[in-house]
Structure 1
């Protein structure tokens, strides 16, 4: 329950206490907050109302005086929603003058829009300036036009046709600049009038964090409503400029929800990386934009035009894409791959089944409980490659290389990874994916998660038939900490091309016999 802490009464003539200034902050079903209206002050001056959450000594917080009425309505708005339609109108407008080359113009518009998106030209920027975007804008437009022009020249052997197409593309290029200027001016006007803004909290309270807060209060064109500072162990927040303090780093997920913020800026942070990662990886921050002030500001690390607030550079932190259209493509590719592989590899599957039966008798398929995405158990299938053991031993015994229970044929299947082929059925069922962290037994997941804090983070994605750690030589009796680092690197840098590279390296490992 949120309550106001003791504070002086309102000054004479100030009128009754307002009952709705902080209604936005109180969770559903709780008593709204009332506060004393503060005297009129400069936009740069921090607010002074103090509030207490649950009455704890560490939970004293200071919240902004007047929240933005538009913040809740604009949380879902994104930069591309305005820029993309205006760009397409500019790129397609020349068709109205000459319909003969409409197919080429449509192709240029689509290819250019994709190139703009890949180059980050539809991402939200704090410093909005069309002049900053001109180099990338026209470089990518010219590249798109060149690609389409090659296709047009191949299809039409007429020089006059290609010439006409290029004239229409030139008209699109002329219209592209004023179109961008219009969309950027519209964004600036909406921000300055606070029609569109997003709540932001700043991690830290040092000089850079204080200056950022001042800039956000004074200049609404950055599109951010400053909601307060988040405390870290190395920051005292004793100065007036380092307030309002809304809470502590370990409560970041809850603070983002209560302050209705969807932007977190990391500045002046001097705390262990593991503590910071644990806070920003919380599920409640999945839809939150993360920005960071680089520590070595004299050495810019981003390509293209860097973003900044005032003279302070800010860098958007890349978040792993764990859902959406790309993951739908990944799942579709998994189903197609597993179906085709089961059909084409059926003779090899039969060969492995016969070899397992001759060496170990009945029970050629070995089923074992493993942990999948979000910690859910499933039954994994493999060809049996060693003499049977009891269930308790199979769940808790760590297999190592040169295990005496592994026969010659089982060792051959392990070295070529053929014993993993039945997991294609697990992929069809949706228990697994083709590329992902390798699944492990519940006993070892619990044990490794305690010993290695990063290990549990592997289960953010489906487990895989092969993975980056395995093709990097981390199989069998290799350090668990190294495997966890490689698996988390894969998750945080995932792309369809990275999956393709892992698959190609897996094929090379199979032919090289580099299995365990």
Structure 2
């Protein structure tokens, strides 16, 4: 099969006017606001493999217990209570093994999405992870329930071997069936509509490969390319791109009047129309083939496509520095591709962040209630009535919310409150208020904002709308901070970027946190924030 590029110029009707492509009325999130992905459009549900591995591990431990335990026969003759007592240790071992196995498999990368998953690639990690989990589970079980001698299915070499082998066989069998079903579904109507950015030789090669190998589940529906886009006009069109390999053809340049070939892959428009094309064609995957020196443009396109809930891949040419030194984990028939990480909201562990927020906010409000009351009383005595300070701030998706703080400065007028930049050493700040700022105790009422859902414990610090507009106009990536909820503390703050410090540096640190978000990074920031409370800096 061959891939060709054809002109996708809108067809002319009888009156000579161009018919416009209809864009479905489909909600697209605010810039930076992610939707939860539709798991039905993915090869495998994010939780399907962990659930299958858990079931296989529990089955393996249960069977190993039944075949190796010496307690079960005697317990069977002693009645139901004795049977339950004999089963309890094995059940405990099974639960611990499932938990350990899930953690080990996740650490080994067995749950990350892949374009071409293979059971043979999973075999050794599954066996190794199972061996570790089955060995540790019996050692941890006695801390939870009494384990009689011989009751643990992996207490001896025989039981451990049975559990590991059975778990490996079951997991490989289930994964093989799941992978085969996913490939079969994706090779048919379940293939994801795919947009390729860049209609050069490497883009041609990728399109032809995807057409020849439907098992990757990606159906190329078109290119976007600023050089070949129909709306660029004949004067701006270059000479046709030469075919990169035999069998990959390019139709004449758009505007020559040549009829397109059936099944050709069209050029749909320029890069600036990416969002419109994704909506109109219901694109689910975007592959970017970056041109030399086009790093900024490629990054912008990748973020736009990711914000539109597409799977995004970067496909450098073979021999590129990215492929030589970064060892891409995915490939399309030998062509290396790098998967761009989805937004945090699209990752399976994101709901746990909200659970962590609620738990920490509730605990903080209970524990810190006396401290908040004492600080409020001190503020009342020093600054008079009006202890709580409410101010409009910008959070997730550019939405505004009312942030709470203890009042440490009484501005001359409301306009000053909204537009004056806080600086260290303001002579109007009195001693108690200065202490509250230096120790960040004036921020404690924001635990209520976290409980309400306005903020998170960890995230970019929220800013006032006046300064958001100002910074967004001068810093291209400042608005990208609003892709996640604002936070009480953040990656920038624990590196000393708070108060009157570089806004560019703070935005860079915040975006780095968002791009690499994990639940572990949140816990790290919380612990470092708690530790830095002993070494407070200026506000």
Normalised-by-shorter TM-score class? 0.7 to 0.9
What TM-score does the superposition give when structure 1 sets the normalisation length? 0.78
Contact 1:253/1:279 (CA < 8 Å) preserved in 2?
Answer: no
1:55-454 mapped onto 2 (5 Å cutoff): 75-78=41-44, 91=57, 94=60, 95=62, 99=66, 103=91, 104-105=93-94, 107-109=96-98, 111-113=100-102, 115-152=104-141, 155-159=146-150, 161=152, 162-163=155-156, 165-166=159-160, 167-190=162-185, 194=188, 196-232=190-226, 238-239=240-241, 241=249, 244-270=266-292, 272-282=294-304, 285-294=307-316, 295-301=320-326, 306-322=329-345, 326-454=349-477
How far has the Cα of 1:230 moved from its partner?
A: 1.7
Name the structure 1 match of 2:261.
none
Structure 1, unmatched stretches of 5+, are: 1-42, 62-71
Name the structure 2 match of 1:46.
4
SS in 2 for 1:506: helix
Q: 1 CA distance for matches of 2:39 and 2:537?
A: 56
Q: 2 CA distance for matches of 1:237 and 1:169?
A: 61
Q: 1 CA distance for matches of 2:497 and 2:139?
A: 45
Q: 2 CA distance for matches of 1:475 and 1:54?
A: 58
Q: 2 CA distance for matches of 1:216 and 1:245?
A: 16
Q: 1:354 to 1:318 in 2, by over 3 A?
A: same
Q: Deviations over 1:421-453 (max 9, x none)?
A: 222222233222222111111111111111112
Root-mean-square deviation (Å)? 3.5
Q: 1:502 to 1:175 in 2, by over 3 A?
A: closer
Contact 1:74/1:198 (CA < 8 Å) preserved in 2?
Answer: no
Q: 2 CA distance for matches of 1:221 and 1:324?
A: 24
Q: Which moved more, 1:343-352 or 1:78-87?
A: 78-87
Contact 2:8/2:267 (CA < 8 Å) preserved in 1?
Answer: no
How far has the Cα of 1:484 moved from its partner?
A: 0.8
Q: 1:216 to 1:355 in 2, by over 3 A?
A: same
Q: 1:251 to 1:370 in 2, by over 3 A?
A: same
Q: 2 CA distance for matches of 1:84 and 1:200?
A: 28
Contact 1:79/1:122 (CA < 8 Å) preserved in 2?
Answer: no
Residue in structure 2 matching 1:466, options 467, 489, 501: 489
Does residue 524 of structure 2 align to residue 497 of structure 1?
A: no
Contact 2:8/2:268 (CA < 8 Å) preserved in 1?
Answer: no
Q: Which moved more, 1:288-297 or 1:478-487?
A: 288-297
Q: 2 CA distance for matches of 1:510 and 1:494?
A: 23
Name the structure 2 match of 1:67.
none
Q: Give the length in aligned residue pairs.
A: 461
What TM-score does the superposition give when structure 2 sets the normalisation length? 0.75
Q: 1:108 to 1:419 in 2, by over 3 A?
A: closer
Q: Deviations over 1:262-287 (max 9, x none)?
A: 11111243464443333333377542
How far has the Cα of 1:327 moved from its partner?
A: 3.7
Q: 1 CA distance for matches of 2:324 and 2:19?
A: 38
Q: 1 CA distance for matches of 2:289 and 2:443?
A: 47
Structure 2, unmatched stretches of 5+, are: 22-37, 67-71, 73-86, 230-237, 244-248, 251-264
How far has the Cα of 1:412 moved from its partner?
A: 1.2
Q: 1:511 to 1:313 in 2, by over 3 A?
A: same
- Structure showing greater relative contact order (alpha-carbon pairs closer than 8 Å, 6 or more residues apart): 2
Q: 1:237 to 1:181 in 2, by over 3 A?
A: farther
Q: Which moved more, 1:401-410 or 1:171-180?
A: 171-180
